[in-house]
């Protein structure tokens, strides 16, 4: 008994020595955010800012926040980060992939400040953590819904850039759809932009003209939702709740909830328990949230809710074999689950997608 106590005390003492700065908490923390777009884009940057506001409301006096919007990637982002670092920020969230190198560069010069980079993979210094969300989990659910709801057995997918995150989404959507209808067809249009309402609307129209009756998008504006509403088709929202733009159109929306993560990490700084990590969280952690299932019959809703529950509990993973690659070769054997590392660099389609992945 005594020995155990002694060991515990020693362990505590050691922990205290190993991380003196981390061990003590703070009374007040300043959290800073840098956004690539305007907070008014009602998409990616908007949702990050919602996360900031969420934590601000929860922590009240203990938290001060600041943000910089529309910061170009490159030299400007490095300067913006440096200004943050020197203006008393304790933790800085850099919310675009293109800030990856700038984040690591500035983090090197400011070892006492925590840096959190969204969607990247470089953690070159102990004070850099990365985070991302498993949006593909939601896409499996909407794929199933699409296959149930589509009369033509096909859906249109408005895609931005062929990076792994987007490819994961397309694959996951298709796997979900195939689980309901193995013959399901998916038409993909690459618009080469994250945000251009006009171009997204054009892509939506072209897809609907081509005979699909359900749209989903991996771009940020609400324009495709509006087009679908006009044409009497169905659509899925992206990044934020878009029901206002299609009350009779939106089936559900995959919402990026950054609030809980920001809460967790800022609290960790307050309590002195912040550590480097690579977070890739999904439904279970509340990072990927499905908007209410609307405009669909009860049985479809029940199916969607069941799948969501299974993914949340970890009982089911969207990338579970058997899955073939587009060229027909085997990717995952029966029962085999794709590893996170492999998904993070995904650059091929699964079988059945009728599109050539831009290389």
For other proteins, give the closer residue by CB, 193 or 336: 193
Which one of residues 79, 292, 305, 339 is an interface residue with other proteins (CB under 8 A)?
79
The size of the interface with other proteins (CB under 8 A), counted in residues, is 73
**With respect to other proteins, which residue has the nearer C-beta, 2 or 151?**
151
For 298, list phi and psi in degrees, rounded to 5: -60, -35
Per CB under 8 A, the segment of 21-29, 76-84, 140-148, 289-297 that binds other proteins is 76-84
325 makes contact with other proteins (CB under 8 A): no
Per CB under 8 A, does 209 bind other proteins?
Answer: yes
Cα 199 to Cα 192: distance, rounded to the nearest angstrom: 9
Minimum distance of other proteins from residue 60's CB (angstroms): 17
Helix axes 197-209, 223-231, angle to 10 degrees: 30
Closer residue to other proteins, CB minimum distance, 46 or 293:
46
Q: Is 280 in the site for other proteins (CB under 8 A)?
A: no
Interface with other proteins (CB under 8 A), residue from 126, 210, 292, 314:
210
CB of 70: closest distance to other proteins in angstroms?
5
Q: Which of 22, 53, 70, 336 binds other proteins (CB under 8 A)?
A: 70
Residues in region 117-146 near other proteins by CB under 8 A: 121
Q: Does 162 bind other proteins (CB under 8 A)?
A: yes
- Site residues for other proteins, 180-199, by CB under 8 A, read 187-193, 195-199
Among 155, 203, 235, 283, binds other proteins (CB under 8 A): 203
Interface with other proteins, residue 20, by CB under 8 A: no
Which is nearer to other proteins, 42 or 331 (by Cβ)? 42
Under the binding rule (CB under 8 A), the answer on residue 356 touching other proteins is: yes
Tell me whether residue 167 or residue 251 sits nearer to other proteins (CB atom).
167
Binding range to other proteins, per CB under 8 A, among 4-12, 74-82, 173-181, 325-333: 74-82
Does residue 82 belong to the site contacting other proteins (CB under 8 A)?
Answer: yes
Pairing label, strands 185-190, 214-217:
unpaired
Under the criterion CB under 8 A, does residue 319 sit at the interface with other proteins?
no
**Chain residues 228-267 in contact with other proteins, contact rule CB under 8 A:** 240, 244-245
φ, ψ (nearest 5 deg) of residue 34: -125, 125
H, E, C per residue of the chain: CHHHHHHHHHHHHHHHHHCHHHHCCCCCEEEEEECCCCHHHCCHHHHHHHHHHHHHHHHHHHEEEEEECCCCCCHHHHHHHHHHHHCCCCEEEECCHHHHHHHHHHHHHCCCCEEEEECCCCCCCCCEEEEEECHHHHHHHHHHHHHHHCCCCEEEEEECCCCHHHHHHHHHHHHHHHHHCCCCEEEEEECCCCCCHHHHHHHHHHHHHCCCCEEEECCCCCHHHHHHHHHCCEEEEEECCCHHHCCCCEEEEEEECCHHHHHHHHHHHHHCCCCCCEEEECCCCCCEEECCCCCCCHHHHHHHHHHHHHHHHCCCCCCECCEEECCCCEEECCCCECCHHHHCCCCCCECCCCCCCCC
359 forms part of the interface with other proteins (CB under 8 A): yes
84 touching other proteins, by CB under 8 A: yes
- Does position 54 interact with other proteins (CB under 8 A)? The reply is no
């Amino acid at each position: 008994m005594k020995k155990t106590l002694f060991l515990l005390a020693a362990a505590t003492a050691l922990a205290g020595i190993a991380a003196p700065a981390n061990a003590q908490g703070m009374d007040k923390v300043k959290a800073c955010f840098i956004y690539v777009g305007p907070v008014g884009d009602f998409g990616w940057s908007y949702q990050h800012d919602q996360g900031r506001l969420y934590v601000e409301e929860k922590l009240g006096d203990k938290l001060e926040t600041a943000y910089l919007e529309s910061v170009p990637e490159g030299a400007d982002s490095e300067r913006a980060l440096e200004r943050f670092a020197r203006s008393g920020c304790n933790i800085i969230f850099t919310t675009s992939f293109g800030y990856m190198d700038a984040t690591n560069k500035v983090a090197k010069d400011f070892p006492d400040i925590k840096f959190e980079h969204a969607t990247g993979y470089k953690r070159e210094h102990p004070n850099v953590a990365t985070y991302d969300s498993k949006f593909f989990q939601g896409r499996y659910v909407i794929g199933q819904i699409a296959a149930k709801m589509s009369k033509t057995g096909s859906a249109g997918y408005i895609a931005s850039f062929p990076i792994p995150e987007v490819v994961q989404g397309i694959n996951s959507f298709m796997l979900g759809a195939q689980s309901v209808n193995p013959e399901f067809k998916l038409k993909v249009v690459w618009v080469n932009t994250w945000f251009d309402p006009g171009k997204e609307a054009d892509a939506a129209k072209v897809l609907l003209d081509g005979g699909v009756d359900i749209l989903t998008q991996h771009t940020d504006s609400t324009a495709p939702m509006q087009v679908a509403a006009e044409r009497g088709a169905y659509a899925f929202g992206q990044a934020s709740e878009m029901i206002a733009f299609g009350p009779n159109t939106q089936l559900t929306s995959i919402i990026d909830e950054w609030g809980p993560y920001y809460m967790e990490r800022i609290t960790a700084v307050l309590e002195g328990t912040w550590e480097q990590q690579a977070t890739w969280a999904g439904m279970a952690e509340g990072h990927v949230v499905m908007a209410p299932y609307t405009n669909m019959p009860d049985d479809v809703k029940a199916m969607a809710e069941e799948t969501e529950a299974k993914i949340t509990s970890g009982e089911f993973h969207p990338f579970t074999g058997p899955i073939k690659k587009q060229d027909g070769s085997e990717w995952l054997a029966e029962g085999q689950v794709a590893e996170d590392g492999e998904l993070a660099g995904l650059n091929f389609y699964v079988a059945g997608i009728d599109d050539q992945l831009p290389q």
